[in-house]
Structure 1
């Protein structure tokens, strides 16, 4: 059973991807502040700040103490792994940012800028080889070249499909995502790079 969230602070934290992702390690089991910092590349101060907010919001509870030489380590765990938040509990600005995927878009833009500092200086609107309208940069790089990083940023003005074809496309997209998502726990433990993913498919308004 999912946990219904009525606490306004908890609702705001869970609806903010940048904060909610810090709850993930605690959802998997007892975790220390240092574990959180190491897992997500945070400073200890940043990790302590997030844990403090989660405790105040009732999203974390103490999960014991790890005895060792020196100072004992406090462990915490999330109160649940599935949360339901009434929309009225989420501040409008946070909800708009979440629904617009603003947090992920900003992180994606920073990642691309690090690879190509000039990316995005010019907007290109063009017909692709299939006759569909696309939006992108001034020059289309060879995405599949070995020396080009695994980056894709594709927005199309529309695919024309029957409902059956669209449902097949939907299933294939989700199956492909889940196929690679299943590898993530092991790959994270191996220290592999993290990739942002966006999948979107919807009937266009008439």
Structure 2
């Protein structure tokens, strides 16, 4: 469903909106059922359900009578929401990417300070015309947590860049499919980017 209403757009763009909408996109749930699915406190899910209802993105599909207040069951008004580019705030995705980069730096610094803060800087060359700079751990220093961060520049054709982009998407999608999102497993952030360098 295409969304251009400013109230709905603002609600969809809030951090966490997709997470709290997820249980209601394909079937109806009560607040307590959604809280159990999301493994999140009932009060937090109740706050989000009320907020998403106020924005018009969720609606009550039925009420189960019981002593006291009936149990309301909610469902999203669509199974998917698309906000057209012209309805987004200016530079929306640039802001999202900046926040993602900051989150990744914070995550790396917290998980592996010996890598982010204490690593050594190295300049080397794999050939007389191919210099590189990177960071290395001092001998005998091990990483406290599983982390990886690397970057490089490549000289490749546009066709090769398309091939690489497809491989990256396949790799990402394969690991998303393996991710047990509803589990108590540790959450990792993965950022992968590819773009031609400006002149």
Q: Tell me the TM-score normalized by structure 1.
A: 0.71
The 5-angstrom pairing of residues 85-104 of structure 1 reads 85-92=83-90, 96-98=94-96, 100-102=97-99, 104=100
* Paired position in structure 2 for 1:195: 188
Shift of 1:148: 4.7
Per-residue Cα deviation, 1:115-166 (whole angstroms, up to 9, x for no partner): 2457655798754665465676xx5489xx7x6533222233x211122221
Cα distance 1:79–1:191, how it changes in 2: closer, same or farther (>3 A)?
Answer: same
- Report the CA distance shift for 1:171/1:93 in structure 2 as closer, same or farther (over 3 A): closer
1:4–1:106 CA distance, 2 compared to 1 (3 A): same
Structure 2 distance, partners of 1:123, 1:141, is 7
TM-score, normalised to structure 2, is 0.73
1:154 to 150, 160, 167: 150
Distance 1:32 1:126 in 2: 56
Separation of aligned partners in 1, 2:124 and 2:33: 47
1:195 CA displacement: 2.4
Over 3 Å counting, the alpha-carbon distance change for 1:46 and 1:93 in structure 2 is farther
Counterpart contact for 1:13–1:20, Cα < 8 Å:
no
Q: Report the CA distance between 1:55 and its aligned residue.
A: 0.8
CA apart distance, 1:22: 2.0
Over 3 Å counting, the alpha-carbon distance change for 1:162 and 1:94 in structure 2 is closer
Structure 1 residues 96 and 181, CA, compared in 2 at 3 Å: closer, same or farther? closer
Is the 8 Å Cα contact of residues 26 and 78 (structure 1) preserved in structure 2? yes
User: Once superposed, what is the RMSD of the aligned Cα atoms?
Assistant: 3.6
Q: 1:46: which partner in 2?
A: 44
Q: Name the structure 1 match of 2:9.
A: 11
Q: How many corresponding residue pairs?
A: 194
Q: Is there any run of 5+ residues in structure 2 with no aligned partner, and where? A: none
The Cα shift of 1:60 comes to: 1.0
Partner in structure 2 of residue 115 of structure 1: 111
Unaligned residue ranges in structure 1 (runs of 5+): none
Kindly state the Cα deviation for residue 27 of structure 1 after the two structures are TM-superposed: 1.7
Q: How does 1:105-184 map to 2 (within 5 A)?
A: 105-116=101-112, 120-121=116-117, 127=123, 131=130, 133=132, 140=137, 148-156=144-152, 158-184=153-179
